[in-house]
Structure 1
């Protein structure tokens, strides 16, 4: 059986895979996590942005969210991880996905009359507007604010991958 942190992280990644599947999107994973990306999520087909618009995501989890006002303060990225998400110098837009999980693994999922319930909720934020840290270190943490309004849903995930899906069709 997995240790608690590995189990929590795997559940967070699987949560994102299920959401992407429900959104009709494709998920791929590099054979080695070399540049801080857990998944690429793409929409198959053509859009006004070209073929197969996509995003890159880093998935993090927490069972002890620190909520302040309308955001979570997340301290789970070291400076090196942060730099792999921060700034505008990426061809493919990068996001941090934060999945809030229950404190106990036996609460991650429940089978109910209406179907399978995954707990709790995923959120997203972009660090595109934030500056990378010079001489980043792996032994220092960076606080990232994740707005509680940025809930990951089928609709919001499609909109991150392809903003065309958010436009109202005539």
Structure 2
């Protein structure tokens, strides 16, 4: 059995993989995480917006979320992780995906006849408009606020991947 922290993190990654599969998108991982990307998600083939549009995502989980003013307050990024997402100089758009998961693994899913429910919800945030920290300091944390309207579902994930026409 995985320890609770690894179990929670794995469930968050699998939550996003299931969502991408439901959206008809492909996902992949790099063989080594050297630049803060957990998953790449893409639309295969040619689209009205170009060939093979894709996004890169960093996935974090939270089991004891803090909500304020219609936002999820996520304190779980260190400066190095933040710097891997911030700025507008990436070839492939990058997003933070924060998955609100239950406190115990026994509550991650509910299975009934004809349904499998994954709990609870995922949210997305672009840090494209934020400036990077001058120094990558993995020991310093930064909080980000994710609007609750940024819910990850099939439609919003497709929209993030396909994006505006080029």
* CA distance in structure 2 between the partners assigned to 1:135 and 1:115 by the alignment: 47
Q: Give the alignment's TM-score, normalised by structure 2.
A: 0.97
Structure-2 residue corresponding to 1:168: none
- Structure 1 match to 2:16: 16
Deviation at 1:49, TM superposition (A): 3.1
Shift of 1:89: 1.0
| Aligned partner of residue 144 in structure 1, secondary structure | strand
Aligned counterpart, 2:100: 100
Equivalent residue, structure 2, for 1:134: 134
Q: Secondary structure at the match of 2:144?
A: strand
Number of the residue aligned with 1:115? 115
2: CA distance, partners of 1:164 / 1:36:
24
Q: Tell me the secondary structure at the aligned position of residue 5 of structure 1.
A: helix
Aligned-CA RMSD value: 1.2
Distance 1:136 1:8 in 2: 26
Q: Corresponding residue for 1:69? A: 69
Q: In the alignment, is the contact (CA less than 8 A) between 1:79 and 1:136 conserved in 2?
A: yes
Q: What is the CA–CA distance in structure 1 between the aligned matches of 2:102 and 2:152, rounded to whole Å?
A: 17
Give me the whole-angstrom Cα distance separating, in 1, the residues matched to 2:33 and 2:44. 23
The answer for unaligned runs of 5 or more in structure 1 is 166-170
Q: Quote how far apart the aligned CAs of 1:164 are.
A: 5.9
Aligned residues: 165
Runs of 5+ unmatched residues, structure 2: none
Summarize deviations over 1:129-149 as a string: whole Å, max 9, x none. 000000121100011111100
SS at match of 2:156: helix
Instruction: For 1:154 and 1:137, locate their aligned partners in 2 and report how far apart those are by CA, in whole Å.
Output: 35
CA distance in 2: counterparts of 1:76 and 1:159, whole angstroms: 25
